[in-house]
Amino acid sequence: MHSHNQQERSFSKASSEVVRSFMARTYHSDINLHQIGDEKFVTKTSRHHSEGDSRARQGFRNEVIALKVANEHNHIAKILAFDHWHMSMRLRLEAGKSLNEWADAANISILSTAECGMICKQMSSALAYLHALPIIHDDVKPDNIMWCRDLQHAVLIDFDAAIVMLPTNFNTSGTPNYAPPEYLLEYKSEKGDIWALGITMLFAFGYVPLPNGDWILPHALARESGPYEKMTEWLAQVEALRAGLIKANPLLAEMLNSDPDRRVNSRELSQRLELP
């Protein structure tokens, strides 16, 4: 507890000394770039911190816990300080840009095959590390992976939806196109992260444009609804693509197995990607 308070005090003090510039706004958070002298870092502040939103506060706690526990992995975002009261955290500034920005005007990936291999290798290592803790990221997608071409370095970011210390009750969080088939059965496990990384790699390798499904994911749980039909249509497209990958890219095909029990796990995936 003492170390937590120290982090919170140092965060509050530094906040009054920085030059701030706006970076992005998501549904959950405001993200800003800060600079003290030559030092740059990012702050992420919940947009719901003043609303008494218990779910948002629990999500913030989970994100802090996940990042603190996984803070030593080179391909996972690094938390520097946090403030529970204001639901704000300071994070290392990551080099490069998110994978969704590595696309042309038609939303087709401009990443090379070698880059895709490096990204998949580094992200599988990050997921294997998380899953052993055990933590599920639960929102792996191009927006949440930073890639620096100069450094050939990828970092997994945004742990808003992280599920810490399994088992847990099913929750409806997720992003259309990246939720696995078992989501429709109201089931989540670490294998869902592998599926989401597989969809991300479909985009990165250029098999599909950047997915942009617009259905409300929890609404897909209602059978015969519009969102359910959209999700099942998308899953059928993925299965058709997967059939063509069994010979061309067999490991990616294993990541996209619709049966989570037969889907490759993160530890095996990481080990196989380390092989020459």
Given a cut of 70, is residue 65 above it in pLDDT? yes
Q: Are residues 108 and 176 in the same domain?
A: yes
Higher pLDDT, 142 or 7: 142
Domain count, the chain: 2
Say whether both 75 and 179 belong to one domain.
Answer: no
| Residue 57 Cα distances to 49, 100, 103, 224, angstroms | 7, 28, 34, 34
Non-local CB neighbours of 192 within 8 Å, separated by 6+ positions: 136, 138, 179, 180, 182, 183, 260
CATH number at residue 109: 1.10.510.10
Segments forming the whole domain that contains residue 60: 18-92
Residue 151: its pLDDT value, please?
98
In a domain, 124, yes or no: yes
**Can you say whether the dihedral through the CA atoms of 24, 85, 70, 124 is positive or negative?**
negative
Interval 32-60 mean pLDDT: 83
- Judge if 38 and 106 occupy the same domain: no
Interior angle at CA 139, CA 136 and CA 145, nearest 5: 105
Band of the pLDDT at 57, cuts 50, 70, 90? confident
Pick from 22-26, 187-191, 264-268: least confident: 22-26
Shared domain check, 258 and 167: yes
The pair of structure tokens assigned to 114 is: 């070698």
CATH code of 42's domain: 3.30.200.20
The per-residue pLDDT for range 196-253, each reduced to its tens digit, is 999 999 999 999 999 999 999 999 999 999 999 999 999 999 999 999 999 999 999 9
Query: Within this chain, do residues 80 and 108 fall inside the same structural domain, yes or no?
Result: no
Residue 4 is predicted with a pLDDT of 42
Residue 6 confidence (pLDDT) above 90: no
Which of 36, 67, 92 terminates a domain? The answer is 92
Q: What is the pLDDT of residue 169?
A: 81
Mean per-residue pLDDT over the chain, rounded: 90
Confidence band for 10, pLDDT divided at 50, 70 and 90: very low
Q: Is the pLDDT score of 82 beyond 80? A: yes
Which residue's structure tokens are 């299965």? 239
Q: What is the mean pLDDT of residues 127-134?
A: 96
What pLDDT sits at residue 36?
A: 86
> Residue range 126-135: average pLDDT?
96
For residue 147, is it within any domain?
yes
Q: Rg for the chain (alpha carbons), in Å?
A: 19
